[in-house]
Structure 1
Amino acid sequence: MSRFKNQAAGEPSQRQLRVGELVRHALADVLSRNEVSDPDLDGVIVSIAEVRISADLRHATALVAPLGHTDPALIATALNRNTRFLRGRIAPALRQMRNIPDLKFQLDTRFDDDSRIDTLLRSSRVARDLPVDPDGAPAGGSDEDGR
């Protein structure tokens, strides 16, 4: 068995996951203190859902979701404009690393995708394709244990 079985499957290594969490926490600290002086980021609460690190630990992609009624694309653009400042602010938290990763911000659309899929699965078009149990309930809603 290979010592690097996760990397063969394309999954991130333990080190990538650990560094990603360090970067995520450092970015969350900086953004929660409103240290970035950008008019597009004033008063905006940004959630850092995940940080993906490249295999060489030199590039980090942060998946962000602005909370509230703001334009998400505008927030991602503003964060990408301020990557140099943010990189400098997270450097002390990553002092054990040889290189501070270059930052890139992308919108986290997983929640929107999940909502869209859930809405589709609950639609009448999908429900009519499900077989009906003898008691009148659509089949496939739960397993044998009632879960």
Structure 2
Amino acid sequence: MSKKRFSEGRGPSQRMLRVGEVIRRTLSEILQRGEIHDPDLGRMLITVGEVRVTPDLGIATAFVLPLGGKNAEEAIEVLARNKGELRRMIGRKAQLKHAPELRFRIDDTFDQIERTAALFDNDHIQQDLRTPTDDRETDEDDTV
């Protein structure tokens, strides 16, 4: 019976990370150079933030976002429409024995960063982040 790595709480293996990064770089290069002959894809500037690969290296999920974050759903549709050609080009350029099936998802990393920054700006959270020495210094300043 095969062992599923992520069910045990472990992270991805070095091989998975390495293959994901190779695919990310290759996909970025292909999109940057406009090597896919689709006019819809040619007019979009797409950022590839991360590529996650399954343990058997059979599926690669690319987290992408168009420049400016607008029309993200349209970008996903255009990439999905061209995934066969992208897969072939990635396999050839990255010299992979078996190119994985490509899946595309919207990269929400920037949204998460904004939500986290907003949390840190909250007064209630700031109160918890202060160190006890900060509180003592303000108390001493008040008594003088």
Q: CA RMSD in A?
A: 2.5
- Map 1:110-121 onto structure 2 (within 5 A): 110-121=109-120
CA-CA distance at 1:100 after TM superposition: 0.9
- Give the aligned partner of residue 142 of structure 2: none
TM-superposed CA distance for 1:81, in Å, is: 1.4
1:40 Cα deviation (Å)? 3.1
Selected match of 1:133 from 126, 132, 135:
135
> Residue by residue, what CA displacement relative to the aligned partner does 1:86-121 show, whole Å, maximum 9, x if unpaired?
011112123342x11000011110111111121122
Shift of 1:135: 4.5
What is the deviation of 1:44? 1.9
Looking at structure 1, the residues matched to 93 and 13 of structure 2 have their Cα atoms a distance apart, in angstroms, of: 21
Secondary structure in structure 2 of the residue aligned to 1:133: helix
| Maintained 8 Å contact 1:40/1:74 | no
Name the count of aligned residue pairs.
131
Relative to its length, the structure with more helix (as a share) is: 2
Aligned twin of 1:23 = 23
- Distance in 2 (CA, whole Å) between partners of 1:86 and 1:133 is 57
Q: Could you give the per-residue CA deviations for residues 16-41 of structure 1, whole angstroms, max 9, x where no partner exists?
A: 11111111111011101112233432
Q: Specify the code of the residue in structure 2 equivalent to 1:67.
A: L
Give 1:64-75 correspondences, 5 Å limit.
64-68=64-68, 70-75=70-75
Question: Structure 1 residues 95 and 127 mapped into 2: Cα distance closer, same or farther (>3 Å)?
Answer: closer
TM-score (norm 2): 0.76
Structure 1 123/70 Cα, relative in aligned 2: closer, same or farther at 3 Å? same
For residues 68 and 111 of structure 1, do their structure 2 counterparts lie closer, same or farther at Cα, with a shift above 3 Å needed? Answer: closer
Determine the C-alpha separation between the residues in 1 that align with 2:27 and 2:69: 21
Q: Percent identity?
A: 36
Task: Return 116-125 or 104-113, whichever deviates more.
Answer: 116-125
- Distance (whole Å) between structure 2 residues aligned to residue 111 and residue 122 of structure 1: 17
Structure 2 alignment gaps of length 5 or more: 140-144
SS at match of 1:48: strand
TM-score of the aligned structures, taking structure 1 as reference length: 0.75
